[in-house]
A and B are shown apart, each in its own frame.
Chain A
Amino acid sequence: MTTTSLNDRATRQQADHGTTLKMTARGVDVFYGEKQAIKNVSIDVTQENVTAFIGPSGCGKSTFLRTLNRMNDTVAAARVTGDITLDGKDIYAPDMDVVQLRARVGMVFQKPNPFPKSIYENVAYGPRIHGLASAKADMDGIVEKSLRRAGLWDEVKDRLTDSGTALSGGQQQRLCIARAIAVDPEVILMDEPCSALDPIATAKIEELIHELRGRYAIVIVTHNMQQAARVSQKTAFFHLGTLVEYGDTSDIFTNPRQTRTKDYITGRYG
């Protein structure tokens, strides 16, 4: 246990040098009508690292996550100001195509939400609407590759025509991850992906996050601090709509600079 965590730390430190910025947020405010949900948040998401957002309920971490692929657009009263870029390009610019943005910045939700269609159709839906596969064989390939990457292929390869909703909760969530990576995104946002799952399913998802790291920039919102410590290299602590502290996960958990962070991590509130 100790050796692996030491190894982890070593790789983490290596990763910190020469990282590539994938997404940046500068001075982001989010309003729901009159109420300000996010106050002046600036953060970087790097290609190589898993970034975790932690904080007590209602602190705005999910809200902020949803600004990164403009899912907040569906809430009529929501208003976002500040700069958020993907590969240096403003995603709130008028010429940014939201549909394309969401294909590049995929999302996995808190509650597993497979379509009430077959497992195959769940994965194939994204590539189909984006025209990523021209022939049936291409599509079969994408579906298999995505399910393999999501670690679900061996469990479902014989029943691809079964309904996605017939799977167990953990399998459903991995199906949702397969569905997200089927459109070959650059960033994957995960909004408390394990909060509806049992510990074994949670462990599988965490393992999966490890394997996906590097190929995709991953941002994960979590309530579970152990989970943040296990899966992430960068951690951001949110409280009451503000970003209190952001830094290397090892520093945040062992040597927080802010008292509020320290109190939250040690379980004083939250």
Chain B
Amino acid sequence: MSTLAPVMQPAPKHAQARVPTDWTTASMQGRIRRRYRAERNFRMLGAGAVLLSTAFLVFLLVSMLSQGLRGFTQTELKLPMDFPAARLGIDPVALRGPDARAILAAADLENATAQAANRAYGPAGYKLLSDGAWLSIRSAIQEDPTILTRRADIWVPTSTAIDLAAKTDGDADAEAGFRMLDARQAVRTGFSMAFLTGADSTDPTIVGIWGALKGSLLTMFVTLILAFPVGVLSALYLEEYAPRNRWTDLIEVSINNLAAVPSIIFGLLGLAVFLNFLDFPRSAPIVGGLTLALMTMPVIVIAGRNAIKSVPPSIRDAALGIGASKVQVVFHHVLPLALPGILTGTIIGMARALGETAPLLMIGMRAFIASPPGGLADPATVLPVQIFLWSDEVSRGYVEKTSAAIIVLLVFLLAMNGIAIYLRNRFERRW
């Protein structure tokens, strides 16, 4: 124990000979000032960068919301329908039967609607209506066939011009028409379920986002069930099983390169392989999903490998040390611990795929699809492509619908990123 006691020795000679540094000279003071200035400048540059990006974000959100929120609303006018006088020749009892669709199709509802508008709002009354106004009449009849025996006021969508006049400013005719309707309390603007439940149309007053949204969901579904298992298994194999040699190095480099390939190239690949070679249906979510899966897979593999790599080796040792087999180590310990990281990477990859347009244009998903897809092989379009198509339209009514579609897309993207952040914070472990 005595050897551990501190030994008192005199300090070496040269310590006393040392001249202390003079911190008060002009050059020393200047250096200190310059150091503080550099610090201040750097901090201001950083704050400026944050401010600039925040300003961009605010500008984007404000302009999108101010334009887009109007896209969720629709102006409607009250159309007094005198069904007995219209002589539609529809038997209300027959509408209960199986031929209802055919009977309704045979009746000239379009004409009857226009006539009713003319009767109510003057000779040019039909111009106040949307081209699809008769569809509202049809649904009213389908809902309650007894309506055919009486007069009824039905709310139908107005034309784009009246819609614009009601919301912002339209041309002179439309403004006059709107004032006339407003004076008769026959016009209202409200939240439109039709936008959330409908599909694409040539008439901006009756377009809906559901067709594109459903197309996106089906496409994402295909992408997820393909890219996730294949990506995770690849990551597990490469990290836990594959030997380190020239071949695995080559594979690693290839995967990293694949993640950086421009997305349109994947579109061309999808076109060549899935459409031309395998003869899959054009414009279908299954092809879109396959193509996007090719694009998302490398992202999942890279995120998965990083997550697996961050599981400490001591956990593997612990499990191996009590006789767990390699598969048990991987599935009981490594994978559960790496899963939050893998899921975060997957969601971010999926969000990227959800916002992808270019590869889908190549496989024909830019077609005009007027009804929501019924299945994976039905023609469909997706949200970003729908936005692209609507932004290309001439009619002014599409402007706010485009913004509204962008809001829907952003809501989905932000929700996915939010889930990713939640998972990361909730399950992140510190070692």
B244 within 8 A of A: yes
- Residue of A with least CB distance to B325: A99
Compute how far the CA of A95 lies from the CA of B312 in the bound complex, rounded to whole angstroms.
Answer: 31
- Chain A positions within 8 Å of B, measured between CB atoms, are 69, 71, 74, 76, 99-103, 106-109, 111, 113-116, 125-126, 129-130, 176, 179-180, 182-183
Contacts of A100 in B (CB 8 A): 323
* Chain A residues closer than 8 Å to B315, beta-carbon distance: 113, 115-116
Give the residues in chain B near A101, CB-CB below 8 Å: 323
A106 to B320, CA, bound (A): 9
Residues of B within 8 A of A76 (CB): 243-244
CB contact under 8 A between A125 and B337, given known A102-B321, A102-B323, A114-B318? no
Given known contacts A71-B317, A109-B317, A129-B328, A183 and B322 CB-to-CB distance under 8 angstroms: yes
User: In the bound complex, how far is the Cα of B429 from the Cα of A116, in angstroms?
Assistant: 9
* Residue of B244, B317, B323, B337 touching A103 (CB-CB under 8 A): B323
Pairs A-B, 8 closest by C-beta atoms: A103-B323, A107-B321, A113-B314, A126-B322, A102-B323, A113-B318, A99-B323, A99-B325
Nearest CB of A to B317, in Å: 6
Q: Mark B283-323, 1 if CB is under 8 A from A, else 0.
A: 00000000000000000000000000000101111111111
Within the complex, the shortest CB–CB distance from A200 to chain B, in Å, comes to 19
Chain A residues closer than 8 Å to B337, beta-carbon distance: 116
Answer whether residue B119 sits at the interface, using C-beta atoms and an 8 A cutoff: no
Bound complex: CA of A113 vs CA of B243, how far in Å?
26
Provide the residues of chain A in CB contact with B332, threshold 8 Å. Answer: 125, 129
Q: Is B324 among interface residues, defined by CB-CB distance under 8 A?
A: yes
Cβ-based interface call for B333 (8 A): yes
Chain A residues whose C-beta falls within 8 Å of the C-beta of B318 in the assembled complex: 109, 113-115, 176, 179
Q: Judging by beta carbons under 8 Å apart, are B324 and A99 in contact?
A: yes
Query: For A176, what are the chain B residues with a Cβ–Cβ distance below 8 Å?
Result: 318
The docked-state distance in angstroms from the alpha carbon of A111 to that of B318 is 10
Q: Given A74-B320, A76-B243, are A109 and B429 also a contact pair (CB < 8 Å)?
A: no
**Chain A, residue nearest B323 (CB):** A103
* Residue in chain A with minimal CB distance to B245: A76
Find chain B residues with CB under 8 A from A179 CB: 318, 322
Report yes or no: A102 in contact with B320, Cβ–Cβ below 8 A: yes
Count of interface residues, chain B, beta-carbon cutoff 8 Å: 20
Enumerate chain B residues within 8 angstroms of A180, measured Cβ to Cβ: 321-322
29 A–B contacts from the bound complex (CB under 8 Å): A69-B321, A71-B320, A74-B316, A74-B317, A99-B324, A99-B325, A100-B323, A102-B321, A102-B323, A107-B317, A107-B322, A108-B321, A109-B321, A113-B312, A113-B318, A114-B318, A115-B318, A116-B315, A125-B322, A125-B324, A125-B332, A126-B323, A129-B324, A129-B332, A179-B318, A180-B322, A182-B322, A183-B322, A183-B323
Q: Which residues on the A side are within 8 Å of B324 (C-beta)?
A: 99, 125-126, 129
Number of A-B contacts (CB under 8 A): 65
Nearest A residue to B244 via CB reads A76
Q: A76-B244, A113-B315, A116-B337 are in contact. Are A129 and B321 (CB under 8 A)?
A: no
How far apart sit A81 and B203, CA to CA, in the bound complex (Å)?
A: 81
Q: Which of A101, A108, A116, A130 has the most CB of B within 10 A?
A: A116
Smallest beta-carbon distance B161→chain A, Å: 64
Chain A nearest CB, measured from B390 CB (Å): 49
Besides A107-B317, A107-B322, A125-B322, 16 more A-B contacts (Cβ < 8 Å) are A71-B321, A74-B316, A76-B244, A99-B325, A101-B323, A102-B321, A102-B323, A103-B323, A106-B321, A106-B322, A109-B314, A115-B315, A115-B333, A116-B337, A126-B323, A179-B322
- Complex: chain B residue closest to A181, CB-CB: B322
**A residues near B328, Cβ cutoff 8 Å:** 129
What is the bound-complex CA distance between A74 and B319, given in angstroms?
A: 12
Scan B407-431; emit 1 where CB is below 8 A from any A CB, else 0: 0000000000000000000000100
A114 nearest in chain B by CB position: B318
Minimal beta-carbon separation of B331 from chain A (angstroms):
11
Least Cβ–Cβ distance between B394 and chain A, in angstroms: 60
Q: Which residues of A contact B319 (CB under 8 A)?
A: 115, 125
Within the complex, the shortest CB–CB distance from A255 to chain B, in Å, comes to 21
Residues of the A chain whose Cβ atoms lie less than 8 Å from the Cβ of B429: 116
How many angstroms between the C-alpha atoms of A69 and B317 in the bound complex?
Answer: 12
By beta carbon, the residue of chain A nearest B312 is: A113
Give the distance in Å from the alpha carbon of A103 to the alpha carbon of B319 in the complex: 10
| Contact flags B334-354 to A (C-beta < 8 A → 1, else 0) | 000100000000000000000
Chain A, Cβ-Cβ closest to B316: A74
Which of A101, A111, A129, A182 neighbours the largest number of chain B CB atoms within 10 Å of its CB? Answer: A129
Residues of B within 8 A of A116 (CB): 315, 337, 429
Q: Measured between alpha carbons, how far is A100 from B325 in the docked complex, in Å?
A: 9
In the complex, how many angstroms separate the beta carbon of B323 from the nearest chain A beta carbon?
3
Closest to B311 in A: A116
Between B320, B325, B328, the greatest number of chain A beta carbons within 10 A of the residue's beta carbon is seen for: B320
A82 to B243 CA separation, bound complex (whole angstroms):
25
* Chain B residues positioned under 8 Å from A114 (CB to CB): 318
Q: Which residue of the partner chain A has the closest CB to B322?
A: A126
Contacts of A125 in B (CB 8 A): 319, 322, 324, 332
How far is it, in angstroms, between the C-alpha of A76 and the C-alpha of B244 when the chains are bound?
A: 9
Give the docked Cα–Cα distance between A230 and B332 (Å): 38
Cα distance A33–B372 when bound, in Å?
A: 62
Chain B contacts for A183, CB-based, 8 A:
322-323
- Could you tell me the distance in whole angstroms from the C-beta of B374 to the nearest C-beta in chain A? 46
